[in-house]
Amino acid sequence: MPAIIDTEKCDGCGTCVDECPVGAIELNDKAHVDADLCTECGSCVDVCPNQAIILE
């Protein structure tokens, strides 16, 4: 299952976008994961300063 972003916690900092090795995260006002591209590597989870991203 791809990474899930809690939009209540996400402040749109973009750290996860820069960290994603496959470009699966886009940023508008909040981050959004493209489920088709996400490889579930967890890189974004590790760098999120707000703990807004989880892998299930």
Q: What is the CATH number of the domain that holds 20?
A: 3.30.70.20
Q: Which residue is associated with the tokens 């579930």?
A: 40
Q: Could you read off the pLDDT tens digit of each residue along the chain, which spans 56 residues?
A: 999 999 999 999 999 999 999 999 999 999 999 999 999 999 999 999 999 999 98
Query: How many domains are contained in the chain?
Result: 1
pTM for the full model? 0.87
Contact partners, residue 24, CB within 8 Å, separation at least 6: 2, 3, 33, 34, 37, 38, 39
The residue segments making up the domain with residue 26 are 4-54
CB contact set of 28 (below 8 Å; sequence gap of 6+): none
pLDDT at 56: 86
